[in-house]
């Protein structure tokens, strides 16, 4: 294997792939990145067994990748030291591998050498089922993940709740997350054949967002043997799936409400943020929402700091004008920060019933549910 490549492009791709590598893996070869020189570009693969990131750098003058393939081949090199070296070298970079898996790197008058692993011993990629491919706009997928991932469980008591539940049915792509105290869901229209469902670890989808944050095309989603694959024309991310049955979250969403408030989202975010400063003494960061003088009252207090109370305008109100409920202020902040709409509606159905946050626009399909806490 022998090739030359633009230093900046190579360094960026290595860094992206390195996000999947555990430096001190119990399996030594998994601490490395597989570098493959193909006739039409360079392919990089990194994995920690739970997640696999594959990035392809094509030969393209328009992309300014400055790749020249002298000899095809592959090698596995220690990720940490190789990434650090490439980051610190001037350009261009020349990489050459001999039959003894020795990786030689040259940049200007700088010569380095790494001891590599046997490429054929590196894990193979999961087999992909091409019969049921989902196509979704990258921006829509990123938005669906951001509007739900925060609601996944942070402990392993119920493993299925540590991931996002993706389901496909009737040309609808639904993302749902819950930790049993709150719930977030997002529905998008997609092109697909058949129905499918899978639970993807929150760490995997969070990394996916980073990998495709600057991508504006379409993402393909494929099922694999115990894995799910998210694929663009330059990056592929495989994630191990969480096994188990996800709870029927539709039963958690109230079908009736006593009071619906229409509010300015930005003002509400700032008011809740201020109230949270005084809520730290409580286990659940309690803040109280109530209606006073035909306005929304946001309040909280602690014996150490004191109290805070503010009134905000209610743009519209449907139903009863009596309301008082205590909820986790940080849960409310997490939900509100993911919403792009300027105005939202919040539905209430009693002191000890969950609140539901929705868009005032029918075309929007997000929903956030937060259970009350005892004051």
User: Residue-wise pLDDT tens for the chain (375 aa)?
Assistant: 999 999 999 999 999 999 999 888 888 999 999 999 999 999 999 999 889 999 999 987 556 668 999 999 999 999 999 999 999 999 899 999 987 789 999 999 999 999 999 999 999 998 887 777 888 999 999 999 999 999 999 998 899 999 999 998 878 899 999 999 999 999 988 877 678 899 999 999 999 999 999 998 999 999 877 899 999 988 999 999 999 999 999 888 888 889 999 999 999 999 999 999 988 766 778 999 999 989 999 999 887 889 999 999 999 999 998 899 999 999 999 999 999 999 999 999 988 899 999 988 765 689 999 999 876
Answer yes or no: is 51 within a domain: yes
Residues 266, 345 within the same domain: yes
- Cα separation, 248 vs 167, in Å, equals 12
Q: What's the total number of domains in the chain? A: 3
Are 203 and 194 a contacting pair, CB within 8 Å? Answer: no
* Domain containing residue 162: CATH number: 3.10.150.10
Query: Which pairing describes strands 227-231 and 218-224: parallel, antiparallel, or unpaired?
Result: antiparallel
Residues 285, 366 within the same domain: yes
Residues 162, 75 within the same domain: no
Residues 38, 117 within the same domain: yes
Residues 263, 358 within the same domain: yes
- Cα separation, 41 vs 10, in Å, equals 11
Residues 85, 147 within the same domain: no
Residues 25, 95 within the same domain: yes
Residues 113, 156 within the same domain: no
Answer yes or no: is 29 within a domain: yes
Answer yes or no: is 216 within a domain: yes
C-alpha distances out from residue 45 to 36, 61, 64, 184, 354, Å: 8, 23, 22, 33, 45
* Residue 232, both tokens: 């663009």
Are 238 and 125 a contacting pair, CB within 8 Å? Answer: yes
Answer yes or no: is 75 within a domain: yes
Which among 59, 86, 121 is the end of a domain? 121
Answer yes or no: is 159 within a domain: yes
DSSP helix/strand/coil, 15: helix
Residues 258, 230 within the same domain: no
Residues 87, 150 within the same domain: no
| Nearest CA-CA partner of 89 in 7, 14, 16 | 7
Q: Which domain holds residue 296?
A: 253-370
Answer yes or no: is 178 within a domain: yes
| Nearest CA-CA partner of 248 in 174, 188, 155 | 174
Which among 195, 218, 247 is the end of a domain? 247
This prediction has a pTM of: 0.90
* Domain containing residue 266: CATH number: 3.70.10.10
The confidence score (pLDDT) of residue 303 equals 77
Residue written as token pair 């719930």? 183
Which among 225, 247, 269 is the end of a domain? 247
Q: Where are the beta strands (DSSP E) in 116-215?
A: 128-137, 163-169, 172-178, 182-189, 196-201
What contacts 362, CB < 8 A, 6 or more positions away?
none
Cα dihedral 114, 117, 120, 121 in deg (nearest 10): -160
Cα dihedral 8, 9, 10, 11 in deg (nearest 10): 50
Which of the 8 DSSP states describes residue 373? -
The confidence score (pLDDT) of residue 169 equals 83
Residues 227, 313 within the same domain: no
Q: Which residues pair with 312 in a beta bridge?
A: 296
Residues 269, 345 within the same domain: yes
Answer yes or no: is 126 within a domain: no
pLDDT digits (tens, 9 = 90+) for 189-228: 887 767 889 999 999 999 999 999 999 899 999 987 789 9
| Nearest CA-CA partner of 223 in 205, 241, 209, 206 | 241
Answer yes or no: is 73 within a domain: yes
């Amino acid at each position: 294997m022998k090739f030359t490549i633009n230093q900046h492009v190579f360094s960026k791709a290595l860094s992206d792939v390195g996000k999947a590598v555990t430096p001190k893996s119990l399996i030594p070869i998994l601490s490395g990145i597989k570098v493959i020189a193909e006739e039409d570009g360079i392919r990089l693969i990194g994995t920690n067994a739970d997640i696999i990131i594959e990035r392809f750098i094509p030969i393209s003058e328009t992309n300014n990748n400055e790749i020249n393939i002298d000899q095809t081949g592959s090698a596995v090199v220690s990720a940490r030291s190789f990434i650090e070296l490439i980051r610190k070298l001037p350009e261009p970079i020349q990489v050459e591998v001999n039959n003894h898996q020795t990786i030689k790197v040259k940049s200007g008058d700088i010569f380095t050498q790494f001891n590599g692993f046997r490429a054929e011993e590196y894990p193979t990629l999961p087999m992909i089922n091409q019969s049921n491919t989902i196509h979704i706009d990258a921006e829509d997928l990123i938005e669906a993940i951001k509007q739900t991932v925060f609601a996944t469980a942070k402990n392993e008591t119920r493993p299925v709740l540590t991931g996002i539940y993706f389901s496909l049915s009737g040309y609808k792509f639904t993302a749902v997350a819950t930790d049993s105290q709150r719930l977030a869901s997002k529905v998008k229209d997609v092109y697909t054949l058949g129905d499918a469902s899978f639970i993807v670890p929150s760490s995997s989808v969070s990394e996916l967002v980073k990998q495709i944050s600057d991508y504006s095309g379409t993402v393909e989603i494929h099922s694999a043997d115990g894995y799910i694959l998210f694929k663009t024309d330059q990056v592929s991310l495989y994630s191990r799936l969480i096994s188990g049955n996800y709870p029927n979250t539709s039963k958690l969403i109230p079908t009736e409400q006593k009071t619906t408030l229409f509010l300015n989202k930005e003002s509400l975010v700032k008011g809740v943020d201020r109230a949270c400063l005084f809520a730290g003494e409580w286990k659940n960061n309690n803040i109280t929402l109530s209606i006073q003088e035909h306005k929304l009252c946001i309040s909280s207090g602690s014996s150490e700091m004191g109290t805070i109370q503010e009134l905000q305008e209610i743009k519209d109100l449907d139903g009863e004008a009596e309301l008082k409920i205590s909820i986790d202020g940080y849960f409310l902040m997490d939900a509100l920060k993911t919403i792009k709409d300027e105005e939202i509606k919040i539905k209430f159905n009693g002191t000890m019933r969950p609140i539901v946050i929705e868009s005032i626009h029918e075309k929007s399909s997000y929903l956030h549910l937060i259970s009350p806490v005892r004051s």
